[in-house]
């Protein structure tokens, strides 16, 4: 038996509670993992609170990522004792996730833990950090270099944003950190941001084209914020979009695309091909400053996850939140 958070349907919607489960109750999969660490992400908070229909089947164990040690395996790539990490693939939405003592998954969903990263650090990085690296890779794939100009990062104090600021700054880029929390300015500067932009500058509907400002951007917001970022891109600038914290709509025009040659690159971390996610984790192991990772990471007790979920959605949480399960 092991501890888990279980989300289930109720007459009025859904509820999340702590419970005890057995390995026999876990869904199908060819690898059983003893979960060491999970994390609290925006999508997990939506699932736990029920504020968005994230959960696709009930009952559901949330937790879109986890790290741990293989306990049993019939998959040829993994053996008992192997350290692994998992991000996405509908885990925590359609398939039971990592906020539990054990998890069963398909072997092709797992990535061997890269050398130089501990199980805890893997979840300090987590889906947010892995997504940030996918965004950096997209900018670079489209030719954006440190010499191209300033890079804007929206939601800079959050999980994706804080890792993105760190990765970009350490790679030599000039980073403009966009945040609605000016109290985090010093934190973002210590991560490497060269300037702090008040989110309010981008939160009201603007012109189809604004003054050329940024060579690239990583956006977690969507909505009006993304529309204004697009309008402010330099000629042939690139925006990597990976979130919808400010809205799912995009009230923009085609002007940035057809008059400035701007590229909008969509980033999906959930179903990203395995070869690309392995590359992202390889690069994280080699390029992410682990001292800065410690600075942007907080630890949350497993027993406090449900209570913390609403605060996460309220924008009260900085950086990455690691949840020890069986450390």
Render pLDDT for 176-213 as a digit per residue (tens, 0 to 9): 999 998 899 999 999 999 999 999 999 999 999 999 99
Task: Quote the pLDDT of residue 38.
Answer: 98
Determine the pLDDT at residue 250. 96
At residue 312, the pLDDT reads: 84
- Dist CA 151 CA 166 (whole Å): 12
What pLDDT is attached to residue 313? 83
| Structure-block tokens of residue 75 | 């998959």
Query: Considering only CA atoms, which of 289, 304, 280, 256 is closest in space to residue 140?
Result: 280
Domains present along the chain, CATH in parentheses = 2-113+296-324 (3.90.180.10), 127-266 (3.40.50.720)
Q: Which pLDDT score, from 0 to 100, does residue 246 have?
A: 86
Across 138-187, the runs of DSSP E, i.e. the strands, are: 151-153, 175-179
pLDDT of 26 reads 96
| pLDDT for position 181 | 87
Q: At what angle do helices 274-287 and 119-141 cross, to 10 degrees?
A: 110
Q: What is the block-wise mean pLDDT of the chain (327 residues), using blocks of 10 residues?
A: 95 91 95 97 93 90 97 97 96 96 97 96 96 98 98 94 96 97 93 96 94 98 97 98 91 97 97 95 95 92 95 80 94
DSSP character string of 15-81: EEEEEEE-GGGSPP-SEEEEEEEEE--HHHHHHHHTSS----SSSB---SEEEEEEEEE-STT--TT
Task: Identify the pLDDT of residue 52.
Answer: 84
Give CA–CA dist 133/284, Å, rounded. Answer: 7
Query: 5 Cβ partners below 8 Å, 6+ apart?
Result: 16, 17, 18, 19, 48, 61, 62, 63, 99, 100, 305, 306
pTM of the model: 0.92
Q: What is the pLDDT of residue 218?
A: 98
Q: Which residue in this structure is represented by tokens 């990085």?
A: 125
């Amino acid at each position: 038996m092991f501890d888990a958070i279980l989300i289930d349907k109720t007459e009025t919607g859904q509820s999340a509670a702590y419970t005890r489960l057995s390995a026999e109750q876990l869904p199908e999969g060819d690898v059983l993992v003893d979960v060491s660490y999970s994390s609290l992400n925006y999508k997990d908070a939506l699932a736990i609170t029920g504020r968005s229909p994230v959960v696709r089947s009930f009952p559901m164990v949330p937790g879109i990522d986890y790290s741990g040690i293989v306990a049993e395996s019939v998959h040829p790539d993994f053996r008992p004792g192997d350290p692994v990490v998992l991000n996405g693939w509908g885990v925590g939405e359609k398939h039971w996730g990592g906020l539990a003592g054990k998890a069963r998954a398909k072997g092709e969903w797992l990535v061997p833990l890269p050398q130089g990263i501990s199980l805890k650090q893997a979840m300090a990085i987590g889906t947010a950090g892995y997504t940030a690296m996918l965004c950096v890779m997209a900018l670079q794939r489209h030719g954006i270099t440190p010499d191209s100009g300033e890079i804007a990062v929206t939601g800079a104090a959050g999980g994706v944003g804080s890792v993105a600021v760190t990765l970009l700054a350490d790679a030599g880029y000039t980073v403009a950190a966009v945040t609605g929390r000016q109290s985090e300015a010093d934190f973002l500067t210590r991560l490497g941001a060269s300037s702090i932009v008040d989110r309010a500058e981008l939160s009201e509907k603007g012109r189809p084209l604004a003054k050329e400002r940024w060579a690239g951007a990583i956006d977690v917001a969507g909505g009006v914020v993304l529309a204004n970022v697009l309008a402010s891109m330099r000629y042939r600038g690139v925006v990597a979009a990976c979130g919808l914290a400010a809205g799912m709509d995009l009230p923009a025009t085609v002007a940035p695309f057809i008059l400035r040659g701007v590229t909008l690159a969509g980033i999906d971390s959930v179903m990203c091909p395995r070869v690309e996610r392995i590359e992202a984790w390889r690069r994280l192991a080699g390029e992410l400053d682990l001292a800065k990772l410690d600075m942007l990471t907080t630890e949350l007790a497993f027993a406090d996850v449900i209570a913390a979920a609403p605060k996460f959605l309220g924008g009260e949480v900085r950086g990455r939140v690691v949840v020890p399960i069986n450390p």
